[in-house]
Amino acid sequence: MAPVAAIVDLMLGIVTLIMISKVNNKAKGDKIAGFLIGWILVFQGMEYLFLSILEFQVGSASLFGTVDTSDTERGFLLTGLYMFQISVVVLMSSLALVFPFRILPDSWDEKAILGSVCILSISITTIHLVTDFDFLAIENILMVPAFVILISLYIRFLTSELRTENDSYRKVSIASGLILIGMFGESMTYWLSQVLSINDEFNQRIAIEFSIMPSGASWFGMMVGMSLGAIAICVLFLGEIWRSYNVGAAPFSIMVFVIFIVGFIAGIADVAVLDIVTSCYDQACQEFPSAYNIWYDFTSESLVYLYTPILFMFLLLKYDLIDTQSGNNKWLIRIIVILLLLIVSSTVLELVQSFLPIPEMISSAALAIIVAIFIGWEEKIVTQLISGAESVSHNLPFEDGRLESSSTVDPKVFNLTLSAILLYILILSMLHSGLTKGGL
Amino acid sequence: MVTDSDIDMEHLLFTKDSLIPTIAAIALTMILLSVTTIDFLPELNDTQVFTSETREWNVEFDTSTVDDDDDGHTFSHTEIWADDETKVVDFDFRELVIPEGKRIGYISVSIYPEEDTGISLNDPDWGCDSIGVSVMSDNSTLPAQWQDDRNILLGNDADCEVIPIFLQAYPFFYDDNSANMTAKNDYQAMIPWTEDGWGLGVFSLQIDIDVQSYGGQGVGIVDDDEEITITVDVVTFSGEVVEVE
């Protein structure tokens, strides 16, 4: 799924940046959020692109330490992959500072946010590079402030909605929840395993299977990500249960319930295969049953690769981060929406075909039906998506109007700075792999 | 603390109602993180040792011969061969009752001629029947180390001696006592000694006899057949692994 994710993320990221650069009348926070989401998608796209090439060359084990880094090209790809991965975490962590609301004082304009993103991305990736990525995942600690902000906003606006019965508050709790899912989606599907504290067994298996010397910092970083995801989905689940009881279930509630149930089933599946997981240490590594791998492909992996970009697309459109009403943007949005839905549908069909003996003719027919539905309903889908689009702070009873202050964000500064980080990663990965004959 | 009807920047994240659930959520996160961190520390230590070291192991073997009928051999077969007769004798090892955890290491066969000495007192070998034995690898279905240097797949005798035949079944099971291994854990040290299937199949022997019927002048012995006894010992082994300090 990595190649599909790379295409989707890069395409959506570039289109988002083009569209957001044209907008002038947005609130400052919304515009910065739009830029950040656009660049998150571009960096994520680059990460998946490098991953896809590595997977194509050496198989799925490229995720871990089995890549032959004495080969300059592979050393470059692996270094770049890790560095983009770290930058995505930095960008994601800064997103919560500006969306749904700008948390920082007004004087902290986009230059301060850009400056800190720039310094953090460059310094953390460089530190990881000189330490041979031994402490990879420790950067997850950066997501703790974002988690606290988003969880606080979700609970605060959910309780306010239920107490005052003001629907406007719902936008904020959904936006916070969606970013939480975007940030911790994968770890949310492991929530039960984390609560049962068996994820360290999986870390152990990975370390042994791929002969990676584990570091305490790296494992701690992983545990931070997993714990934040586990508590986030439990809070969202309880919140949505409470809201559904009082107001009724909404599509967002159903999405949360699905992820929660997926995590619950995944936890049971993880317990069931625990003997296989620990076999690497106790005995010799045994293969997981194919049903377990299929389950993982359809849940955690598809959530990360396929649904996260769609989620960001929904945020961009529903919260009017890009100008959805502009005539120039409308056709681009329609193309993007239909293209994304088609790519995701065809990937899901491919996945189904990988384990069900469906003849190609049937799957082609199914894809044709989906295409027909999307083309027929394309206008309706897009119109429905953007008709209720409004800024997250719109109609909210703010004491001061600062949150809706008009944007002074210069697209050039934003794009140039983040392009420079992207270039820095590419050049440094190239140099590192070249100078050290393969890098890591 | 602000009310729900207005939102100011100082109290954007909390209200009176949301403060307790928010603190509870953050506290739960800290507890979960602490518990999982404490839980992974010993695992991390074990994994670091596991990935950094390759330990030495000594596998001590316990060998025994499969002997279902308590006659000291796995199979014991006696048959009479006529002069110039060639016979093929098959032994099916698939029917053997091999104890749990044991595997076939090698097959040792002895072919005993009827006479243990010749007919001449001056030359004890004179007058012994000539026996030729060969293991028919094409006929035999048992998986074994057919190319092993230790194998004795052919035997001839005309001296009234026992003919030995040997077939290595299990790969590298050369030492009946022990083997040194390098592995990450005891299970992996035992992996080379836990392969199933070796030696289970039909073992086919071809024996041809040339009877020495002339007893010599004045002796008057006329011999036109030979009784051959074949004993087959299927030797099994099991291993016990001990770490070398």
pLDDT (average), residues B33-60: 88
Query: What pLDDT, on the 0 to 100 scale, is given for residue A385?
Result: 73
A236 and A378 co-located in one domain: no
What residues of B are in the A interface, CB distance below 8 Å? Answer: 4-9, 12-15, 17-18, 21-22, 25-26, 28-29, 32-33, 35-37, 39-41, 43-44, 46-48, 50-52, 184-185, 187-188, 191
DSSP string, B152-180: B-EEEESSSPPEEEEEE-STT---SSEEE
**What confidence category does residue B223 fall into, taking pLDDT thresholds of 50, 70 and 90?**
low
Q: Does residue A267 sit within a domain?
A: yes
Closest CA in chain B for residue A284: B188
Sign, CA dihedral A72-A74-A78-A80, equals positive
Q: Pull the structure tokens for residue B86.
A: 């060639």
> What is the domain count for chain A?
2
A 324-363 residues with CB < 8 A to B: none
Long-range contact list for A333-336, CB < 8 A, 24+ apart? Answer: A333/A19, A333/A382, A333/A386, A334/A378, A334/A379, A334/A382, A336/A11, A336/A12, A336/A15
A286 and A312 co-located in one domain: yes
Query: How many CB atoms lie under 10 A from the CB of residue A69?
Result: 20
CA distance linking residue A183 with residue A89, whole number of Å: 8
| A307 DSSP 8-state letter | I
Q: Which residues contact B88 (CB under 8 A, 6 or more apart)?
A: B136, B139, B204, B205, B206, B207
Which of B6, B22, B33 lies closest to A223 in CB terms?
B33
pLDDT at B47 over 80: yes
Q: Does residue A148 sit within a domain?
A: yes
Q: Pull the structure tokens for residue B244.
A: 């070398």
Q: What is the mean pLDDT of chain A?
A: 84
Cβ-based contacts under 8 A for chains A and B: 126
Query: What pLDDT, on the 0 to 100 scale, is given for residue B1?
Result: 45
- Helix (H) and strand (E) counts in chain B: 2, 10
**What confidence category does residue B181 fall into, taking pLDDT thresholds of 50, 70 and 90?**
confident
CA distance linking residue B112 with residue A125, whole number of Å: 79
Query: What pLDDT, on the 0 to 100 scale, is given for residue B52?
Result: 82
pLDDT at A273 over 90: yes
**What confidence category does residue B24 fall into, taking pLDDT thresholds of 50, 70 and 90?**
very high
pLDDT digits (tens, 9 = 90+) for A85-117: 999 999 999 999 888 888 877 666 677 888 888
Query: Higher model confidence: residue B52 or residue A394?
Result: B52
A253 and A132 co-located in one domain: yes
Query: What pLDDT, on the 0 to 100 scale, is given for residue B177?
Result: 80
Which of A208, A227, A399 lies closest to B7 in CB terms?
A399
Lowest mean pLDDT, pick from A112-126, A162-176, A280-294, B5-19? B5-19
CA distance linking residue A387 with residue A383, whole number of Å: 5
- Please, which residues bridge with residue B79 across strands? B228
Q: Does residue A231 sit within a domain?
A: yes
A233 and A122 co-located in one domain: yes
A 83-122 residues with CB < 8 A to B: 101, 103
Contact yes or no for B59/B181 (Cβ under 8 A): yes
A383 and A414 co-located in one domain: no
| A46 DSSP 8-state letter | H
Which of A103, A223, A398 lies closest to B40 in CB terms?
A223
pLDDT digits (tens, 9 = 90+) for A183-216: 998 899 999 999 999 999 998 888 887 777 788 9
Strands B163-168 and B55-65: unpaired
Query: Higher model confidence: residue A404 or residue A330?
Result: A330
Lowest mean pLDDT, pick from A300-304, B85-89, B152-156? A300-304
Query: What pLDDT, on the 0 to 100 scale, is given for residue A64?
Result: 56
pLDDT at A141 over 80: yes
Contact yes or no for B238/B103 (Cβ under 8 A): yes
Query: What pLDDT, on the 0 to 100 scale, is given for residue A208?
Result: 83
pLDDT at B91 over 80: yes
A375 and A416 co-located in one domain: no
- Please, which residues bridge with residue A390 across strands? none
- Single out the residue in A354, A369, A388 at which a domain terminates: A388
Query: What pLDDT, on the 0 to 100 scale, is given for residue A432?
Result: 84
| B170 DSSP 8-state letter | S
With CB atoms and an 8 Å threshold, state whether A103 touches B12: yes
Helix, strand and coil content of chain A, in percent to the nearest 5, comes to 80, 0, 20
Q: Which residue has the tokens 């009877």?
A: B211
Contact yes or no for A117/A91 (Cβ under 8 A): yes
Q: Pull the structure tokens for residue B174.
A: 């050369």
- Please, which residues bridge with residue B76 across strands? B231
Q: Does residue A182 sit within a domain?
A: yes
| Chain A interface test: which of B5, B15, B18 (most A C-beta within 10 Å) | B18
Query: What pLDDT, on the 0 to 100 scale, is given for residue B7?
Result: 63
Collapse the DSSP code of A255 into the 3-class scheme (helix H, G, I; strand E, B; otherwise coil) and give the result.
helix
A125 and A208 co-located in one domain: yes
pLDDT digits (tens, 9 = 90+) for A215-251: 899 999 999 999 999 999 999 999 999 999 998 888 8
With CB atoms and an 8 Å threshold, state whether B17 touches A163: yes
pLDDT at B2 over 50: no
Query: Higher model confidence: residue B153 or residue A403?
Result: B153
A170 and A268 co-located in one domain: yes
Which of A208, A397, A398 lies closest to B50 in CB terms?
A208
**What confidence category does residue A324 fall into, taking pLDDT thresholds of 50, 70 and 90?**
confident
Question: In A, which residues are within 8 Å of B32 by CB distance?
Answer: 194-195, 227, 230-231
Closest CA in chain B for residue A398: B7
B175/chain A closest Cα distance in angstroms: 25
pLDDT at A65 over 70: no
Q: pLDDT over 90 for what percent of chain B? A: 30
DSSP string, A138-179: GGGGGHHHHHHHHHHHHHHHHHHHHHH--THHHHHHHHHHHH
Does A193 reach chain B within 8 Å, measured CB to CB? no
Q: Does residue A440 sit within a domain?
A: no
Does A25 reach chain B within 8 Å, measured CB to CB? no
Chain-centre distance for alpha carbon B198: 6
Query: Higher model confidence: residue A210 or residue A161?
Result: A161
**What confidence category does residue A423 fall into, taking pLDDT thresholds of 50, 70 and 90?**
very high
Question: In B, which residues are within 8 Å of A164 by CB distance?
Answer: 4-5
| Chain A interface test: which of B3, B5, B29 (most A C-beta within 10 Å) | B29
A306 and A174 co-located in one domain: yes
Query: Higher model confidence: residue A401 or residue B105?
Result: B105
Query: Higher model confidence: residue A57 or residue A92?
Result: A92
A232 and A365 co-located in one domain: no
**What confidence category does residue A334 fall into, taking pLDDT thresholds of 50, 70 and 90?**
confident
Edge to edge, the sheet with strand B154-157 lists: B86-92, B202-210, B130-135, B154-157
Which of B9, B43, B184 lies closest to A400 in CB terms?
B9
With CB atoms and an 8 Å threshold, state whether A197 touches B13: no
With CB atoms and an 8 Å threshold, state whether A281 touches B185: yes
Query: How many CB atoms lie under 10 A from the CB of residue A291?
Result: 11
pLDDT digits (tens, 9 = 90+) for B59-71: 999 998 988 888 8
CA-based radius of gyration for chain A: 22
With CB atoms and an 8 Å threshold, state whether B6 touches A398: yes
pLDDT at A171 over 60: yes
Full domain range(s) for residue A359 = 325-388
A103 and A175 co-located in one domain: yes
Q: Which residues contact A421 (CB under 8 A, 6 or more apart)?
A: A87, A117, A118, A121, A122
Q: Does residue A373 sit within a domain?
A: yes
A56 and A126 co-located in one domain: yes
